[in-house]
């Protein structure tokens, strides 16, 4: 995997919009505005949830609009659907095995079987399963893949080899899943950078091999879908 992808189809303004919308808007500005509106207007929790859903929907719209060149290019790369899905299945099996290994390793080292991010997702899921289901199965596979693979990895890959671009993208992807813990002084969650980072790297790998972001989106969806199934089985049927 030494050959670079073709010339980056994403312009700098589009990549800047994606990065700012996610790292500044989604992670800081939008949550602050939601909290301010919630308390200032003394809204009900139902109204707050609908506003949250609107923000996630807005994020998807902006990400799809800004990342349209990558989405369009990737669609053209799926010229042999059967081969595409066969490869996707193989990588998914590898993802599951690597994810199980890294999770077991982190649990062995830390004595914790869940990161703070996982715990917050589980808690939020029971409070509002429809909203969390939407963000987990629709929002994350679309927005995070457009940002971390479509803009970050795709942009870097035009100038450097796969391993360097993939590692940077994977570290950035892993970091956003533990950054809240670090701000709260929970540095033991740093170990989960191994788990989330390895997922991000595999998402880069499938993008590299297929030249299509839809492969990484599909893997992201399947990984999150299994996570939701795991929550349901653990807390409702076991």
Grade residue 196 by pLDDT with cuts at 50, 70 and 90: very high
With vertex at residue 117, the alpha carbon angle to CA 233 and CA 103, rounded to the nearest 5 degrees, is 65
Q: Where do the structural domains in the chain lie, given as residue ranges?
A: 12-237
Grade residue 2 by pLDDT with cuts at 50, 70 and 90: very low
Grade residue 110 by pLDDT with cuts at 50, 70 and 90: confident
Candidates 152, 154, 99, 139; CA nearest to 221 is 139
Share of the chain above pLDDT 90, in %: 60
The conformation of residue 183, written as its DSSP 8-state character, comes to H
Task: Write the pLDDT tens digit of every residue in 127-151.
Answer: 899 999 999 999 999 999 999 999 9
Residues whose CB falls within 8 Å of the CB of residue 34, separated by 6 or more in sequence, listed in order: 48, 51, 52, 55
Mean pLDDT score, 115-133: 88
With vertex at residue 106, the alpha carbon angle to CA 101 and CA 108, rounded to the nearest 5 degrees, is 95
Grade residue 238 by pLDDT with cuts at 50, 70 and 90: low
Grade residue 5 by pLDDT with cuts at 50, 70 and 90: low
Share of the chain above pLDDT 70, in %: 95
Task: Write the pLDDT tens digit of every residue in 198-209.
Answer: 999 999 999 998
* 226 CA to centre of own chain: 14
């Amino acid at each position: 995997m030494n050959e670079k992808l073709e010339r980056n189809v994403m312009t700098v303004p589009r990549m800047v919009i994606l990065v700012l919308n996610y790292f500044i808007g989604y992670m800081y500005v939008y949550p602050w505005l939601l909290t301010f509106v919630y308390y200032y207007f003394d809204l009900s929790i139902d109204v707050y949830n609908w506003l949250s859903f609107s923000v996630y929907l807005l994020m998807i719209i902006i990400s799809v609009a800004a990342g349209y060149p990558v989405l369009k290019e990737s669609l053209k790369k799926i010229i042999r659907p059967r081969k595409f899905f066969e490869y996707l299945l193989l990588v998914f099996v590898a993802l599951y095995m690597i994810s199980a290994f890294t999770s077991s390793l982190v649990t062995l080292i830390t004595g914790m079987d869940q990161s703070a991010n996982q715990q917050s997702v589980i808690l939020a899921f029971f409070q509002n399963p429809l909203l969390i289901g939407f963000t987990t199965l629709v929002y994350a596979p679309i927005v995070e893949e457009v940002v971390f693979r479509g803009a970050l990895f795709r942009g870097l890959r035009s100038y450097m080899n796969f391993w360097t671009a993939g590692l940077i993208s994977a570290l950035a992807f892993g970091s956003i899943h533990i950054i809240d813990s670090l701000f709260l002084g929970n540095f033991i969650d740093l170990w989960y950078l191994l788990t989330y980072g390895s997922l991000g790297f595999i998402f880069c790998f499938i993008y590299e091999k297929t030249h299509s972001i839809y492969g990484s989106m599909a893997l992201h969806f399947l990984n999150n879908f299994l996570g939701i199934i795991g929550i349901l089985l653990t807390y409702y049927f076991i």
